[in-house]
Amino acid sequence: MTATNHAAEPVIEVRDLCTRFGAAVVHDGVNLEVRDGEIFALAGASGCGKSTLLRELILLQQPDAGSIRVLGRDVVGLDDEQALPLRRNWGVLFERGALFSSLTVSENVGLPLREHTRLGDRLIDEIAAVKIALTGLPPSAAPKYPAELSGGMRKRAALARAIALDPKLLFLDEPTAGLDPLSASGFDELVKHLQELLGLTIFVVTHDLDLLWRVADRVAFMVAGRIAGVGTMRELSTTEEPVVREYFHGARGRGAWEQAWKPR
Task: Give the helix ranges, DSSP H, for 94-226.
Answer: 105-116, 121-134, 151-162, 181-198, 209-215
Taking the model in full, what pTM does it have? 0.88
Query: Cβ(31)–Cβ(85) under 8 Å?
Result: no
What is the pLDDT confidence band of residue 109, given thresholds at 50, 70 and 90? Answer: very high
What is the pLDDT confidence band of residue 215, given thresholds at 50, 70 and 90? Answer: very high
How far is residue 131's CA from residue 68's CA, in Å, rounded to a whole number?
30
**pLDDT over 80 at 263, yes or no:** no
**pLDDT over 80 at 264, yes or no:** no
Query: Cβ(12)–Cβ(33) under 8 Å?
Result: yes
> What confidence score (pLDDT) does residue 177 get?
85
Collapsed DSSP state (helix, strand, coil) of residue 205: strand
> What confidence score (pLDDT) does residue 231 get?
92
* 26-30, 94-98, 239-243, 257-261: range with lowest mean pLDDT: 257-261
Collapsed DSSP state (helix, strand, coil) of residue 240: coil
**pLDDT over 50 at 23, yes or no:** yes
**pLDDT over 50 at 183, yes or no:** yes
> What confidence score (pLDDT) does residue 160 get?
96
* 88-106 pLDDT tens trace: 999 999 877 689 999 999 9
**pLDDT over 60 at 258, yes or no:** no
**pLDDT over 60 at 1, yes or no:** no
> What confidence score (pLDDT) does residue 4 get?
47
- Minimal CA–CA distance to 13: which of 62, 53, 64? 53
**pLDDT over 80 at 257, yes or no:** no
* 223-240 pLDDT tens trace: 888 998 999 988 888 876
> What confidence score (pLDDT) does residue 43 get?
92
How far is residue 156's CA from residue 70's CA, in Å, rounded to a whole number?
25
